[in-house]
Structure 1
Amino acid sequence: MAAVSGSNVSDTRLIAATGKTRGEWHALLDAENAATWPHPDIAKWLHREHGVDAWWAQGITVGYEQARGIRAPGQQADGTFVAGSSTTVDGELQSVLEKAITIFSDHLGSSPVSISRAAKHPTARWSLPDGTGVLVTVSPAAIGTVGRARVAATRTRLATEDALDGAKTELATVLQRFGE
């Protein structure tokens, strides 16, 4: 969700989805003193009072928290950080998921603690001894695309912002193995 925050989504796209620019949303939230609210309350208010789709409400909330210094980029509501990387590969969702499980299990030295093959976007999740985790999600590359899949890898529960760059680099390196 953090991908919606900051400058990753244009105001043009934000207006098309929500009817307002980032600055307009921030001004409305400031007028409500939302910087003092817990994260869920901000997102619920946007949805309830302004009809913002739940996904966009989360993104606006994260962007607002980042803009007001409440949350750093990549930081979750619990204070931990997440880092991600993705790639698009040839293959159907289930076969790509199986390859991802093999590649990440080999890299991490363990099997996933959960696999969700039946989900719309199949996933595999690893819990690591240091308390962090890895989530791999496989999705269609684009609406209507056949034979291509997007593999998104996320490192979860990182303790510090300093760990982000290394985690992103590690995930990108592992994802390169799809081309081997």
Structure 2
Amino acid sequence: MGTPVGSSADGAGEDAVFAATGRERSEWFAVLDGADAATWPHKDIADWLSGEHGVDGWWAQSLTVAYEQARGIRAPGQRQDGRFEASVSRTVALDTADALQALAAVVTAELDARPLALNLTAKHPTARFPLDSGEFVLASASPLGDGRSSIGLTWGRMTDGSRLAEVKAEMRRWLQAVG
């Protein structure tokens, strides 16, 4: 049912990690192991990487999640609060407002639900669809320039990771219906 959900390390290549942080991911993991970071809360690891080692905030978060996954502290798709989330995105040849409007229409039809909020005037507009289960679907659009936008869907607050691949496959199908 769709492709398996990858780890955080699948998103950024080793060359990108080294270029952004000055060390390879494995080197950072050794530094974190040496500090006994596997016993720390997520925020403390990210703050330590930023504060003690000058790692940019985004990269500190990325390294922290990858470290937690590599050490079995967090499963792929698992959020800090223990719930699970799946996200997908693609580029479309639409301006941001039109892209979100089209994506929100697809999600509305698929879920048979209207968005709780739809803000088309924000720089990065979103539409949030609360589900009866307590989960949610968030549709978003970001400008890329040249009349193109990146559209994305996030399905959040899942209690376990058993549906991650299925949900990602479903949301990819929805994205293909736009543009």
Indicate whether the TM-score tops 0.5: yes
CA deviation after TM superposition for structure 1 residue 3, in Å = 8.2
2:72 matched to 1:69? yes
Partner of 2:12: 9
Could you tell me which amino acid in structure 1 is paired with residue 137 of structure 2? V
CA deviation after TM superposition for structure 1 residue 105, in Å = 1.3
Partner of 1:135: 138
Partner of 1:126: 129
Structure 1 unmatched ranges of 5 or more: none
Write the deviation string for residues 18-67 of structure 1: whole angstroms up to 9, x where unpaired.
11110011111111100000111111111111111111111000000000
Partner of 1:26: 29
Alpha-carbon contact 2:130-2:136 (below 8 Å) kept: yes
Q: Which has the higher contact order (CA 8 A, sep 6+)?
A: 2
Structure 2 unmatched ranges of 5 or more: none
How many residues end up aligned between the 2 structures? 175
1:1-180 paired onto structure 2 within 5 Å: 5-141=8-144, 145-179=145-179
C-alpha distance in structure 1 between counterparts of 2:86 and 2:173, whole Å: 13
Aligned residue for 1:87, secondary structure, equals: strand
TM-score by length of structure 1 reads: 0.91
C-alpha distance in structure 2 between counterparts of 1:71 and 1:154, whole Å: 19
Could you tell me which amino acid in structure 2 is paired with residue 92 of structure 1? D
C-alpha RMSD of matched pairs (Å): 1.7
Residues 138 and 4 of structure 1, relative CA distance in 2, 3 Å threshold: farther
C-alpha distance in structure 1 between counterparts of 2:168 and 2:131, whole Å: 16
TM-score by length of structure 2 reads: 0.91
C-alpha distance in structure 2 between counterparts of 1:31 and 1:115, whole Å: 47
